[in-house]
Copies of this chain bind each other. A is one copy, B any other.
């Protein structure tokens, strides 16, 4: 009965993501996205539940890119690594969306599938019940925490800021009070984020191996 919908959900996601990737989160508004689509702001309300729904759309788009092949395998450790890394890579590809991801508890398809797969891998590692839940929390916590660290860290250049804005700021600290922080910042400035993430993940996996599942 209705007039045919002008836009698909995918189309909205693509436009929104392109806009945010190009001009930053601050450039996203109902009006700006509508303009990018060549329509009026109020039209978007036929596709999305207000501003909140728009942001969910974006998060969903990013998480959907976290595809992970070869899971489940016969090696639960490899699976945990693969799942965590896939999520992290997807998030990292769209740094401007990170604030939205961090401040939301998402329930999109992709996140649920990844969560289920992660639980499955951990279960194959011998965890169950509360111990399984703890394992999930540790792994997802690590991924999210690392993403947060990358928000304005020396790893990624914030919009308009130098790559090492943070590093510079730490370097300016009183060396007698924060010697280790200054040292760590110098180390971070010259390190590869992928290697850092992988090394941290190794610590997590080692912990899962060593800690008794209660």
Task: Choose among B105, B140, B145, B188 the residue that contacts A151 (Cβ–Cβ < 8 A).
Answer: B105
Q: A103–B105 contact, CB under 8 A?
A: no
The DSSP consensus for interface residues of chain A is: helix
Q: How far is the CB of A20 from chain B (nearest CB, A)?
A: 14
Q: A132–B210 contact, CB under 8 A?
A: no
Q: B187–A133 contact, CB under 8 A?
A: yes
A76 located at the interface, meaning its Cβ lies under 8 Å from any Cβ of chain B in the complex: no
Q: Which residue of B lies closest to A100 (CB)?
A: B103
* Interface-facing stretch out of A8-16, A41-49, A56-64, A198-206: A198-206
Residues 166-189 of A, flagged 1 when their CB comes within 8 A of B and 0 if not, give 100100010001111100100110
Q: B203–A135 contact, CB under 8 A?
A: yes
Task: Choose among B131, B142, B199 the residue that contacts A130 (Cβ–Cβ < 8 A).
Answer: B199
Residues 104-139 of A, flagged 1 when their CB comes within 8 A of B and 0 if not, give 110100001001100110010000011111111110
Residues 28-62 of A, flagged 1 when their CB comes within 8 A of B and 0 if not, give 00000000000000000000000000000000000
Q: A200–B138 contact, CB under 8 A?
A: yes
* Residues of B close to A200: CB separation below 8 A: 134, 137-138, 141
Q: A142–B142 contact, CB under 8 A?
A: yes
Pairs A–B under 8 Å by Cβ, sample size 9: A102-B148, A104-B151, A116-B177, A116-B178, A119-B180, A133-B187, A138-B142, A138-B203, A203-B207
Give 8 closest A-B pairs by Cβ, nearest first: A207-B207, A141-B145, A145-B145, A119-B180, A144-B145, A203-B207, A206-B211, A206-B210
